[in-house]
Structure 1
Amino acid sequence: MAALSHVDSQGKASMVDVTEKEVTQRQARAQGFIAMRPETLALISDGQMPKGDVLAVARIAGIQAAKQCSNLIPLCHPLMLSKVQVDFHIDHDRQRIVIDSLCKLAGQTGVEMEALTAVSVAALTLFDMCKAVDPDMRIDGIRVLEKQGGKTGHWQGKQDD
């Protein structure tokens, strides 16, 4: 098993030193879902949710969250993101909203945590804005779909949903 990168020789938590790493173009895509009742999905689709355009607010929340990732996740490097994109797809068949994020930069470390944080906070924002109508919503399936750049190159997860 490989050594843990966030633990020093004494076993203490430590931020990884990326000083000597090469600057490369990096990006990561993440995805998650929020499942809800068909009536709630219809209110969102029709723009009739009592709190307004919940998808617009969740998109901004996800973008802001990616930019704040290093303040939220211990030992995460502060990154100069060049792009954060959050998109939604209403999946009526499965009674859920699919949340996709994309984060990009030119840097010395990856952006997987930023992409995951964008999806997570967008989902939490949707939950918050819709909970009065549907308190039984479920956030699920948050994962990295793909990453590019750095010494490991291109990685893509299995597409099961």
Structure 2
Amino acid sequence: MFLENMGGLALALLGAGLAAVLPGIGSAKGTGCAGEAGTGLLSQDPSKFGKVLILQVIPGTQGLYGLVVWFFAIYSMGLLGGSFSSLYNMEVIQGMQYFAACLPMALGGLFSAIAQGRVAAGSINILAKKPDDWAKGMVLCITVEFYAILSLLASMLMIINISA
């Protein structure tokens, strides 16, 4: 009975919610990891704060990407349009489509943010030992970012192609 009445909408909202929450968790873990590494360096050399901050912020982008997918999904569902009557009639298959469309960002964002935080922490070590080479660490972080962007792109393209 539940799947017949609210199943489609519930599945769609679950997918959108996961797209927002999981990359946010990954970003919190990734920026925390980089921040821990940064505090050690800043206790020795506070003048490097700007560069440490840049390296710490980079793993936070996945949380932002997840929020973009969440917003785009709920907009595409019609939650922001004010016509809620059509939402309650959402078929289970369409709810599964939204759920599946949000998974690339949910999982890709979670795991890439954590990995990027580790790379950012290592890049802070580069900054500590060879300050002139800190941009090399940024390039390594951006390599991981590429996969978060691919996750964002995959989710967005799938949401766009869900038939109403």
Query: Is the structural similarity TM-score above 0.5?
Result: no
Structure with higher helix content:
2
The structure that has the greater radius of gyration is: 2
Structure 1 length-normalised TM? 0.32
Flag the structure with higher strand content.
1
